[in-house]
Amino acid sequence: MKTEDLKNSVRAIPDYPKPGINFRDITTVLSDKRLFQFMINQMCIPWENQSIDAVLGIESRGFIMGSAIAYKLNAAFVPLRKPDKLPYKTFSAAYDLEYGSTEMHIHTDALDNFQNVIIIDDLLATGGTALAAAKLIEKFGKKNILGAGFFIDLPSLGGSALLREKNITVHALIEF
């Protein structure tokens, strides 16, 4: 199997969730066990020889990949959630999407026992979500963000360049 197989399996849905957005639907990959396993295995490769304490998965598709990656890397999984989804005290960071704005939250004690972390999500577009994740990590003091991993990068939208400007290493399996 090759990464080209993954790319060919992603379904494009024009004008979703609003006109002008070309949504990349990964459910076609998730529903094929061979493609899903290959995707997770490939997303783990950049981190295999690093000491990862925690994988931070961005709601919601980042949960799917992040938890599987955390399991394979023998690391903890920490969810980054939408507003009003976490029951304990939280830190928050506001951010813009290409089609709106929102906030991301993390429990105030979520990274207390972790030093080396990575951020995982399904897709990198404008970078707002991943930059908000980095802002949340900064609220915990000196933590090492070893990088951010994505199934898909849309480099024309500038997110990967913004993350690199912040000295965050970016790994993506495929680009559109």
Residues 132-161 have pLDDT tens digits of 999 999 999 999 999 999 999 999 999 999
Residues 7-20 have pLDDT tens digits of 999 999 999 988 98
Q: Token pair for residue 167? A: 């000295």
Percent of the chain with pLDDT over 70: 98
123 neighbors 152 (Cβ within 8 angstroms): yes
Residues 108-133 have pLDDT tens digits of 999 999 999 999 999 999 999 999 99
Q: May I ask the CATH class of domain 50-175?
A: alpha beta
Long-range own/partner contacts, residues 161-164 (CB < 8 A, 24 or more apart)? 161/127, 162/126, 162/127, 162/131, 163/124, 163/127, 163/130, 163/131, 163/134
Which residues, other chains included, contact 34 with Cβ-Cβ below 8 Å and sequence gap of 6+? Answer: 1
Residue 131: what pLDDT? 97
Whether 98 shows a pLDDT value over 80: the answer reads: no
Residue 144: what pLDDT? 97
Positions marked active-site: 61, 98
Residue 99: what pLDDT? 63
Residue 33: what pLDDT? 98
Residue 124: what pLDDT? 97
Residues 32-66 have pLDDT tens digits of 999 999 999 999 999 999 999 999 999 999 999 99
Q: Token pair for residue 83? A: 């507003």
pTM to 2 decimals? Answer: 0.95
